[in-house]
Amino acid sequence: MTFELKAIGKVSSPLTDLAAAPRQADEGAPAAWIEFEPSVLEGLRDLKAGDDVVVLTWLDRARRDLLSVHPRGDASRPPEGVFSTRAPHRPNPIGLHYTKVLGVDGARVHLASLEALDGTPVIDLKPALAADVAQR
Amino acid sequence: MTFELKAIGKVSSPLTDLAAAPRQADEGAPAAWIEFEPSVLEGLRDLKAGDDVVVLTWLDRARRDLLSVHPRGDASRPPEGVFSTRAPHRPNPIGLHYTKVLGVDGARVHLASLEALDGTPVIDLKPALAADVAQR
């Protein structure tokens, strides 16, 4: 069974080099913008500076045929099943990025940090809930 | 720009009634199973009871043409832009569900709670990170 995912925007970031990109947000991801498609502008109308959000991206440079990977790309560590890792390589390479909105300028949204390469397609943005982690 | 998402499993849950389903995990979502496709079994090999995970689902009964919704489906409240809500209705109806693994039985994974209807397609499963919320 397959579904059609639509890009609703793309990342605009100083991060252009895959090898130099941080692997997690707490390793120094830079501030970035999302440039949303004009067609989804209405959906952004209540978004504002200070909002805690989770951005979903489509990691278009990832491999979809891998089910085991070396943790953090370190070949000296034994491979792990991809569903126990946050590796981009997985059947559906969706990135999850928790961050904070710095500002909204029309269809452009400024984010405090984003560990995604320039040009990465954005597929969703949701408010982050404390329950995302605390209630599990 | 569009991408092809593949179902890698589906939810098996006592939740079959959309109207009665809880809107968030902290409102009483029941334990549930995910039945993964045999083709992704290798990816599950390091998953074990006690793991904190985030499940991504494809909310196949949601509407994709809405950019504003009444919060919590309450028509007495003014509509909000979908990217400021966790409503299932949005251009790419992806559900995020933080929960805990109770056990793994081959390609079947038992989860402590899941606010998703029986039969909902599963598109990814990742380890939850404290950084998902704390570091933003």
Query: ipTM of the predicted structure?
Result: 0.91
Mean pLDDT of chain B: 91
B55 forms bridges with which residues in the sheet?
Answer: B97, B125
Q: Is there a contact between A99 and B52 if contact means CB atoms under 8 Å apart?
A: no
The predicted model gives A85-113 an average pLDDT of 96
Instruction: Give the CA angle between residues B41, B42, B47 to the nearest 5°.
Output: 85
Nearest chain A Cα distance for residue B94, angstroms: 8
Nearest chain B Cα distance for residue A97, angstroms: 7
Amino acid identity, position A116: A
Residue of B nearest to A43 (CA): B81
With a CB cutoff of 8 Å and minimum separation 6, the contacts of A45 are B68, B80, B81
pLDDT of residue B88: 94
Percent of chain A past pLDDT 90, that is, above it, reads 81
Residue B93, pLDDT > 60, answer yes
Instruction: Count CB neighbours of B128 within 10 A.
Output: 20
The predicted model gives B58-73 an average pLDDT of 93
pLDDT of residue B33: 98
Residues of chain A contacting B52 with CB distance shorter than 8 Å: 133, 136
Residue B124, pLDDT > 80, answer yes
**A71 vs A92, residue with greater confidence:** A92
Residue B121, pLDDT > 70, answer yes
pLDDT of residue B104: 98
pLDDT of residue B37: 98
CA distances from A41 to A10, A35, A38, A45, B91 (A): 14, 10, 5, 7, 12
Buried b (16+ CB within 10 A) or exposed e, B1-24: eebebbbbbbbebebeeeeebeee
Residues of chain B contacting A130 with CB distance shorter than 8 Å: 133
| pTM tops 0.80, yes or no | yes
Residues of chain B contacting A28 with CB distance shorter than 8 Å: none
pLDDT in tens, B9-49: 999 999 998 776 666 555 678 999 999 999 999 999 999 99
Q: Is there a contact between B54 and A132 if contact means CB atoms under 8 Å apart?
A: yes
Q: Is there a contact between B98 and A44 if contact means CB atoms under 8 Å apart?
A: no
Residue A25, pLDDT > 70, answer no
Mean pLDDT of chain A: 91
- pLDDT category, B135, cuts 50, 70, 90? very low
Lowest mean pLDDT among A65-74, A83-92, B93-102, B112-121: A65-74
On the CB side of B119, CA atoms within 13 Å amount to: 5
- pLDDT category, B50, cuts 50, 70, 90? very high
Nearest chain B Cα distance for residue A119, angstroms: 12
Residue of A nearest to B1 (CA): A7
The predicted model gives B74-93 an average pLDDT of 95
Residues of chain A contacting B4 with CB distance shorter than 8 Å: 2-5
Q: Is there a contact between B1 and A2 if contact means CB atoms under 8 Å apart?
A: no
